Amino acid sequence: MDYITPKGWSKDTPYSPAVKVGNMIFVAGQTGTDEQGRTVGNGDARAQARQIFTKIKTILKAAGAGLEDVTQLTVFFTDMRDIDAVREVRKEFFKSHKPASASIGITSLAKPEYKLEVQAIAVKEDKPKRRAK
């Protein structure tokens, strides 16, 4: 088991941004915060989603993977009316890749300004090696 923390991120937290077990990467719930922990896009689901997917991409890169390796996303919304805005941003990052997903409405997150939180699971499969002829 490897604990994944991207370079430059604080390791002084009670959790890891991701844990890698074998070829699976479990990304902890990410919120729309910057490197200093400040909320990005207070009240703006699009801005927060963009920040979250950027953070997930950074975490996966630190684990040797990418967004194309994501197999599942779980999105927690404090307001389900934001789902279409978040889907638009998601398409910017995932293009034609379509991981399994769940969208869950909840009453609150860790801070009142957070509009959503996203967890991800990725599988980094070994690419088949070409045989010399």
Alpha helices in the chain (DSSP H): 45-62, 83-94
Q: How many CA within 13 A on the CB side of residue 40?
A: 20
pTM of whole model > 0.85?
A: yes
Give the tens place of pLDDT for each residue, 41-100: 999 999 999 999 999 999 999 999 999 999 999 999 999 999 999 999 999 999 999 999
CA pair distance 46, 83, nearest whole angstrom: 10
Q: Which fold would CATH assign to domain 2-123?
A: 60s Ribosomal Protein L30; Chain: A; (3.30.1330)
| pLDDT above 70: residue 131 | no
Residues of the chain above pLDDT 70, percent: 95
Longest dimension (CA), the chain: 61
pLDDT of residue 129: 55
